Amino acid sequence: MGLERTVDVAVIGAGLAGLAAARQLHRDRLEVVVVEARDRVGGRTLNHPIGDGKIVEVGGQWVGPGQDRVLALIDELGLPTRHCGDESGTGGSARLLPRTARRPRPAHPAHAERFGHQDDGRLRHRPDAATPIDYIEKDWSADEWTRGCYGAFTPPNTWTEYGPALRAPVGRIHWAGAETATIWMGYMDGAIRSGERAAAEITALLGETRRATVASAGRTR
């Protein structure tokens, strides 16, 4: 079987932006193929197995208020979330090596249960937290298909001066990606928004063409 295939839209990249675009285009009844350079989907979101069926996130993981698109998608897919309070620096790889051991802060009950606490409400690690069981490092900057994290590296004023140019179609190419988002730029929410925005642009263009073709075929029957 040959590899040649004709589709309405080829989506390059199966990160959240590409997948959100493909999903929307498929819903819009366009024929889509997603082309991904890696042997996995997800882009800058990545689960790292730590054994016993557990994982630690080495990419995007936190969502919060105002990130409506990613929260809606989580809801729609019925995925669980876990409240992490307002404590930054705990969670993800901190499950293995709590930084809170060095910088005590007011304890969230969930963290206190995991890491231990003392009477003033501040976190203090349990003795076993001082001997981490493993260490995981992911150098996204060295990753051929990312080369920077957590968002793209840009010099000052790039977004304010040239932001709209990142989103302007070039011929038949439409651009998505977290860095093209106007809200939550650089975040998972922005990635999803950007994919949906690019899909809407394409559907508007191709949908019109397709509707016109169908209508004209109907007239000639």
Ligand X SMILES: Cc1cc2nc3c(=O)[nH]c(=O)nc-3n(C[C@H](O)[C@H](O)[C@H](O)COP(=O)(O)OP(=O)(O)OC[C@H]3O[C@@H](n4cnc5c(N)ncnc54)[C@H](O)[C@@H]3O)c2cc1C
Residues near ligand X, by CB under 6 A: 12-18, 35-38, 43-45, 59-62, 140, 145-146, 149-150, 177-178, 186-189, 191
Spatial CA neighbour of 123 closest among 131, 136, 113, 132: 113
How far apart, in Å, are the Cα atoms of 115 and each of 94, 98, 109, 121? 10, 8, 10, 12
138 or 210: CB nearest ligand X: 138
Q: Which CB, 18 or 98, lies closer to ligand X?
A: 18
Tell me the sheet residues that pair with 11: 34
Count the helices and strands in the chain (H runs, E runs): 5, 4
What is the closest distance, in whole angstroms, from the C-beta atom of residue 142 to ligand X in the complex?
Answer: 12
- Of 117 and 184, nearer to ligand X (C-beta) is 184
In angstroms, give the least distance from the CB of 64 to ligand X: 8
Q: Is 120 exposed, middle or buried (0-12, 13-18, 19+ CB in 10 A)?
A: exposed
For the CB of residue 61, give the shortest distance to ligand X in the complex, in Å: 5
First to last CA, the chain: 34
Task: For ligand X, give the closer residue by CB, 170 or 215.
Answer: 170
Min dist. Cβ of residue 145 to ligand X (A):
3
100 versus 146: smaller Cβ distance to ligand X = 146
Torsion of the alpha carbons at 87, 93, 94 and 97, rounded to the nearest 10 = -170
On whether the CB atoms of residues 196 and 20 are closer than 8 A, the answer is yes
> Least separation, in Å, of the C-beta of 219 and ligand X?
40
Cβ proximity to ligand X: between 48 and 124 the closer is 48
In the complex, the smallest distance separating the C-beta of residue 204 from ligand X, rounded to whole angstroms, is: 21
Tokens found for residue 166: 């990142």
